[in-house]
Amino acid sequence: MTFNVQDTLMTLLELDGISGHENNIASVMQDAFSHSAHDVWKDRLGNVVAHYGSRSPDAFRLMVFAHMDEVGFMVRKIEDSGFIRFERVGGPAQITMPGSTVTLDGEFGPVHGCIGIKSYHFSKGDERTQSPTIDHLWIDIGAANKQDAARMGVKVGTPVCLYNPPKVLGNDLICSKALDDRLGCTALLGVADAVAGEDLNIALYLVASVQEEFNIRGILPVLRRINPDMAIGIDITPSCDTPDLAGYSDVVINKGPGITCLNYHGRGTLAGLITPPALIAFLEQTASAHKIPVQREVAPGVITETGYIQVEQDGIPCASLSIPCRYTHSPAEVASVRDLSECIRLLLAVARTNGAEFPIDPR
């Protein structure tokens, strides 16, 4: 069956998987890889790895990765009344939480619910205009009491995902929860489908990683086994074409993937990526040669696994390709299938490059 970018993305978006609970997505990724890769394995943390291309021990080793997990919540306490208190897993936008619908991964199957909000008619003053903090929110699953919630399969530690089935908008746009980073996972599957059976000059490792939204380091155990010469991450970046962000940067939807020049997370986790100039030039030259549109991005507030991968071993040259996305970490993210397809094209052009042409020491 011919690979279809949009159909594959829509399938992955229907799945739920907060950090540490990525099995649904991992099963799909592992099964898809197994049809064409030389080797496929899943480590004890849950990362899925597929090896394509050269099997020579001396071949250039390129690792391309994207994370499977999405932002969400976890049950912290079930009140005697049956209402559920919860904590964030990753960084779902707090302002969007009241009134959102959710799916709980109950012991006996999915349980639907909604995040409660004080009825507007009885709200007063600031209650009508300001979003309450998470400790003042609850999930309503329709349980009559605590025991009823238990009968429904909900308990402390139950994962909770945002609920918003994917929808097709105009101009090749998709609206859904979890575009961050099922877009990247789709890109991995697109690359896998295209290189299946090809005699690549390099050893290509495709990695579907875990727990990026939680601690950004879930991919690290994979590095010691692959020992890559270079790594390229695929993730999202805020698109600055909406009324609130217009003019902040030139990165917008439907203009191709972004090539990260710098990202940095200055709150809590002090890490980020300054991409080596020679590696940026290599990606831009490759894109130009294949008539692939790309955008440069500088994204403070964004961080991906590259911030930690680059300082492993004796230093690993890292780059990040970013798919512009509106309304990030909300229940209704929006991104372009066109940008995703261009990202896959660029990754394929890179994978088909002779290993000697990679800027291994791009200082």
The pLDDT tens digits for 93-139 are 888 999 999 999 999 999 999 999 888 888 888 878 888 889 899 99
Q: How far apart are CA 348 and CA 339, in angstroms?
A: 14
Partners of 62 in beta bridges: 204, 230
Is residue 171 assigned to a domain?
no
In the chain, what percentage of residues exceed pLDDT 90?
Answer: 83
Query: Where residue 120 sits, what CATH number does that domain have?
Result: 2.40.30.40
Q: How confident is the model at residue 296 (pLDDT cuts 50, 70, 90)?
A: very high
75 CB neighbour count, 10 Å cutoff = 22
- Rounded average pLDDT over 228-235: 96
Of 164, 120, 161, 111, whose CA–CA distance to 140 is shortest? 111
Is residue 230 assigned to a domain?
yes
Q: Are residues 100 and 40 in the same domain?
A: no
Q: Are residues 139 and 235 in the same domain?
A: no
- Rounded average pLDDT over 278-291: 96
Q: How confident is the model at residue 195 (pLDDT cuts 50, 70, 90)?
A: very high
Would you say 180 is a known binding-site residue?
A: yes
Q: Are residues 306 and 267 in the same domain?
A: yes
Would you say 38 is a known binding-site residue?
A: no
**DSSP class per residue in 19-50:** TT--HHHHHHHHHHHHTT-SEEEE-TT--EEE
Would you say 67 is a known binding-site residue?
A: yes
Q: How far apart are CA 172 and CA 324, in angstroms?
A: 13
Q: Are residues 334 and 304 in the same domain?
A: yes
According to DSSP H, which parts of the chain are helical? 5-13, 23-34, 146-151, 179-195, 212-215, 220-226, 277-289, 306-309, 337-351
Amino acid 128: pLDDT: 83
Tokens of 131: 């979003």
Query: Where residue 350 sits, what CATH number does that domain have?
Result: 3.40.630.10
Q: Are residues 140 and 19 in the same domain?
A: no
Q: How far apart are CA 305 and CA 299, in angstroms?
A: 14
Q: Are residues 353 and 230 in the same domain?
A: yes
Q: How far apart are CA 41 and CA 30, in angstroms?
A: 8
Amino acid 2: pLDDT: 75
The pTM (predicted TM-score) of the whole model is 0.94
Q: Are residues 308 and 341 in the same domain?
A: yes
Does residue 87 have an active-site annotation? no
- Report which DSSP code applies to 291: T
Would you say 112 is a known binding-site residue?
A: no
Residue count of the chain: 363
Is residue 362 assigned to a domain?
no
Q: Are residues 225 and 345 in the same domain?
A: yes
Give the position of tokens 């540490």.
20
Q: How far apart are CA 74 and CA 104, in angstroms?
A: 9
Amino acid 325: pLDDT: 97
Classified as helix, coil or strand, 322 is: strand
Is residue 184 assigned to a domain?
yes
Domain count of the chain?
A: 2
The range of the structural domain enclosing residue 117 comes to 72-162
Q: Are residues 80 and 53 in the same domain?
A: no
Q: How far apart are CA 347 and CA 230, in angstroms?
A: 13
Q: Are residues 66 and 79 in the same domain?
A: no
Query: For residue 92, which amino acid is it?
Result: P
Active-site entry in 22, 70, 212, 333? 212
- What are residue 80's phi and psi, to 5 degrees? -55, -25
Amino acid 326: pLDDT: 97
